[in-house]
Amino acid sequence: MSQLQQLKQTISGLADGAKKTGSNLAGFDKTFSQHTQAVQQAIGGSSQRKDQEVVSALQEASKAVKQAVGALQNAAKIASSYGQSL
């Protein structure tokens, strides 16, 4: 197998892996968001600092998960396009 074929195969595997991981993470995000909403509803009206910290931490985590999904989808798209151009 030539180096070019190996590179194409490696890039294809990377793109597929990023796409699958992004998809799995998006599924996790959906469940995580549902749980986050339930927690917010349960303690949302509280003025206690600890309760607000929990809600804030969950919101930040949810945002990070969404960003990771987007980054993985973008990486898969770019890697796939690059692999096809070789």
pLDDT tens, position by position, 22-74: 999 999 999 999 999 999 888 877 778 888 899 899 999 999 999 999 999 99
Q: Which residues of 59-70 are buried (b: 16+ CB within 10 A; e: fewer)?
A: eeebeebeebbe
Question: pTM for the whole thing?
Answer: 0.83
Residue of 20, 33, 25 lying closest to 59 (CA atoms): 33
Q: How many domains does the chain have?
A: 1
- DSSP 8-state code for residue 55: H
What average pLDDT does the segment 18-24 reach? 96
Please give the residue range of the domain that contains residue 45.
3-85
